Structure 1
Amino acid sequence: MQKHYGVSPEELSHVAGLLHSGQIVALPTETVYGLACLALNKLAVAKVFEAKQRPINDPLIIHVSDLTEAQSVCRPDHRAILLSEVFWPGPLTLVLPKTKIVPTIVTSGLSTVAVRSPANPVFREILNLVSAPLAAPSANPFGKISPTRAEHIKQSFGDEHPPVVDGGPTKLGIESTVVDLSSSRTRILRPGPIDREAISAILGEEPEIPELKASSDKPKKPLSPGLLAKHYQPESPLQVFSNTEDLMAFLKMEPSIPAATFVITHSPLNENCFPSKGLKFMHLSEFGDPEEIAKNLFARLREADAHSPPLILCPLLPETGIGSAVNDRLRKASFKD
C-alpha cells in the first residue's frame, strides 16, 4: 500500500477512497496531524484505538464540515451555536449530548460527544469528498508527543506507519481548545489556541477551568482527549520551570546537570554563559512570540528527544492567551507518577 500522499486532487480522491473502505489515514489539521477514520464506522474506529494503543475509556473527537453536519452527531444548544458561528471552522472542540447514531466506541460509552470543525483546507477537502464525519485523534502512540509534520508519523510508528497525507507543518502546533457544554456550566476542559477571554467575550460569562492536580484525580471516563495528567511525553525526562529566570538560575547554580542535557528556551539564549556544562540549546521562537512558541513546541521536543538526552529543560510561559495552552502541554509532558 502507498504510504505517502500529496495534496493533489487525484491523491486526495484516492485517500477519500481509503477512508470509505474503512482504512485509517493520517491527515493534517491546523492543530496537529490526526489519525482519521469514518467516525460512524465502528470497525474503522477500532483500528484507530489499536494503532495508537489508546485506552478504550478515552473518547475521540469527531470532525465535521459545519454546524449542520454536527447536528447529525450531537445536539447543540444556544452556546454551541454562538461559539461555532465565531470560531468554526477552527481549533475549538465542543462537548455536547450525542445522538444515537454515534457508536459507543467513539464516546467511550458516554452520553456526550466531542465535536469540532477543522480549518485546514486539506482536511476540509477530505471531509467534502467522504461526505461523512471523521474521528481523528492525534496521529501518534497514546501519551506521546503529538505530530505537527508528516515525517513525525513515521518517527512515531516506524515503517509500519499508516498512510499519511503531507500537508506541511501545521499552522498552530497544539491541539484545539475543548469546551464542555454538556451541562448548564460552561467549562474549559483543555486550553488551546482559543483562550478563555475569547470564549467569555462571545458567551458573556466566564467559563470554569477545572483543576487536574494529579493522575489520581483523572476521571475514569474523561469527557474528551487531553485530560490526563500524564500526556504528550518524550522518552527522555522533561523538567519545566516557572519562568526563564528560574531556568537561568538553575543552569548557573546546579552543579549536577548531566552533560548533553537539552535546554529549550523561548528565544535565543547566550550559550557562552555556560561554556563548561556541555549543554545543548535550542529555542522555540526568534523573538519569544507565544504563538510561534506554541507552533514549534512539539517539533522541538521531538528534535531534542531524538538525541536521547539524559534530561530536557524548558520554562513555562506567562498564564495568558495561548501561554496557558503551552503550559498545559509542558506540565503534562513532564508529569511523573
Structure 2
Amino acid sequence: MRILNAHEIDIASEAIKKGELVAFPTETVYGLGGDALNISAIQKIFEVKGRPIDNPLIVHINSLDMLEHVAYITEDAELLIERFWPGPLTLILKKKDIVPGITCANLDTIAVRMPNHDIALKLIKKAGVPIAAPSANLSGKPSPTSISHVMEDLNDKINYAIDGKVNIGVESTVVDLTEEKPLILRHGGITFEELKEIVDIEIFTTRDMKKVKSPGMKYRHYAPNTPLVLATGKLNDMVFKINKLIEEYNKIGENVGIIATHETIHRYPNNIKKRSIGTRDNLYQVSKNLFNILREMDKENLDVIIIESFEKKGLGFAIMERLEKASVSMI
C-alpha cells in the first residue's frame, strides 16, 4: 500500500477512475472508496472487506448536482441537507437507475451523504464520480480512525491510502426518508435531538426492520478479537458489577482489561490493564477515542475486555449502538 499525502489526490482520483480502490479520511472514519457506478469496483470493495453482499454501501458526493444524478430528492431531504451538509448525515432516498444494484444491496433506495472533509471532497471532485465508501477495515472489526488502522487491516489488499485526520471517530447518522415518516436507522455524528429540531423523526427499532437499507443494521460490527463485555446500569452499580466480575476472572486466572472513564478509572485495581476513554462530560472525546482504544486493548493479550456504558442521550446513542454491536455479552 502506498501512502499518499493531501497534495497527491490526483494519483488517488486516477486510481478511482480506473476502477481501483482508495482508502481516504472523512470527518467520521476512514472510508474504502471506489466508483459507485462501476460494478467491478464495487465488487472489489465487498471482496477486500469480506463484507456481506446484502449490506448496502454509502455513496459519497460533493455537490447537489451529483446527488440529483443518483437519487430523487424529497422536501425533508432538502431541509436536512440545508442544515447538516456537508457533514456526518447519510440520507436514504429512492435511487436512480444509473446506480448499479450491487451498490445498494439490490434495493430501490440509496444511502448517500456529502462528507465534511477537504480531502474527501477533493477526491470526489477530481474523480468526477460518486464514491461508494464503507469503513476502510475488515468487516466486523473496529472502524479505522487513523492511517495506521487502515494499514493494520488492508495493507496488502489495496494500492493506495491518503493520510489525513479524522475528527468525530464514529460513523454518520443514517436517516431513512423513503417511509411515511423520517426514521433514524443508525445513530452517529448528528444526534437525534439535532434532527428533531428540523424534521419530525423517530428512532428505528428492530421490530420495524423489513429491509436492510443501511449499514450497521444487521451484522455484528466494530468488534475487537478479544471478547468485549458491556457493563450497564447507574454509575456506582456499574463500577460495583465490574469489580465483582474482575474478581471472578482473576480466580480462574484470566487476564482482564478495563475501558473506563476519567471519573471511574481510579476505582478499579491497579494490577490489571486499564485505559480511560475520556470524560463523561465530553462524549465527543469519547467517540473520537472509542475505536482506537478498542484496537489498542486488543493487542494486550487479554482474555476479556470490560467497558463501561453511557447514557443514551445525544452522542451517547451512537456510542452505545456501537458498543452493543461489538459486545459478546452485557452485565
TM bucket normalised to smaller: over 0.9
User: Match of 2:6, SS?
Assistant: coil
Give the aligned partner of residue 282 of structure 2. 289
Give the aligned partner of residue 236 of structure 2. 245
In structure 2, list runs of 5 or more residues that go unmatched: none
- CA shift, 1:286, in A, is 5.1
Give the aligned partner of residue 130 of structure 2. 133
- CA shift, 1:132, in A, is 1.3
Q: Residues of 2 paired with 1:229 and 1:316: CA distance?
A: 21
Contact 1:218 1:229 in 2 (8 A): no
For 1:3-82, list aligned pairs within 5 A: 3-8=2-7, 11-82=8-79
Does 1:202 find its partner at 2:198?
Answer: yes
Give the aligned partner of residue 181 of structure 2. 185
Distance change >3 Å, CA 234–CA 121, structure 1 → 2: same
- CA shift, 1:250, in A, is 2.1
Contact 2:265 2:274 in 1 (8 A): no
TM-score w.r.t. length of structure 2: 0.93
Contact 1:154 1:161 in 2 (8 A): no
Q: Residues of 2 paired with 1:246 and 1:66: CA distance?
A: 49
User: Match of 1:202, SS?
Assistant: coil
Q: 2:260 aligns with which of 227, 252, 265?
A: 265
Q: Residues of 1 paired with 2:280 and 2:191: CA distance?
A: 22
- CA shift, 1:130, in A, is 1.1
- What's the % identity of the aligned pairs? 36
Give the aligned partner of residue 316 of structure 1. 309
Give the aligned partner of residue 165 of structure 1. 162
AA matched with 2:232? S
User: Match of 2:146, SS?
Assistant: coil
Distance change >3 Å, CA 54–CA 26, structure 1 → 2: same
Contact 1:247 1:314 in 2 (8 A): no
- CA shift, 1:268, in A, is 5.5
- CA shift, 1:319, in A, is 1.0
- CA shift, 1:92, in A, is 0.3
RMSD: 1.8
Q: Residues of 2 paired with 1:272 and 1:303: CA distance?
A: 21
Give the aligned partner of residue 300 of structure 2. 307
AA matched with 2:304? L
Contact 2:265 2:276 in 1 (8 A): no
> Which deviations, in whole Å up to 9, do the C-alpha atoms of 1:81-135 show, x marking residues without a partner?
0000110000000001000100010011100000000001110111111121000
Contact 2:48 2:157 in 1 (8 A): no
Distance change >3 Å, CA 32–CA 20, structure 1 → 2: same
Does 1:227 find its partner at 2:217?
Answer: yes
Contact 1:32 1:147 in 2 (8 A): yes
Contact 1:32 1:174 in 2 (8 A): yes
- CA shift, 1:245, in A, is 2.6
- CA shift, 1:335, in A, is 4.1
User: Match of 1:314, SS?
Assistant: strand
Contact 1:317 1:323 in 2 (8 A): yes
Q: Residues of 2 paired with 1:6 and 1:263: CA distance?
A: 36
Distance change >3 Å, CA 335–CA 228, structure 1 → 2: farther
Contact 1:31 1:171 in 2 (8 A): yes
Q: Residues of 2 paired with 1:148 and 1:199: CA distance?
A: 25
AA matched with 1:233? A
User: Match of 1:114, SS?
Assistant: strand
Distance change >3 Å, CA 200–CA 334, structure 1 → 2: same
Distance change >3 Å, CA 157–CA 130, structure 1 → 2: closer
Tell which deviates more after alignment, 153-162 or 177-186: 153-162
User: Match of 1:72, SS?
Assistant: helix
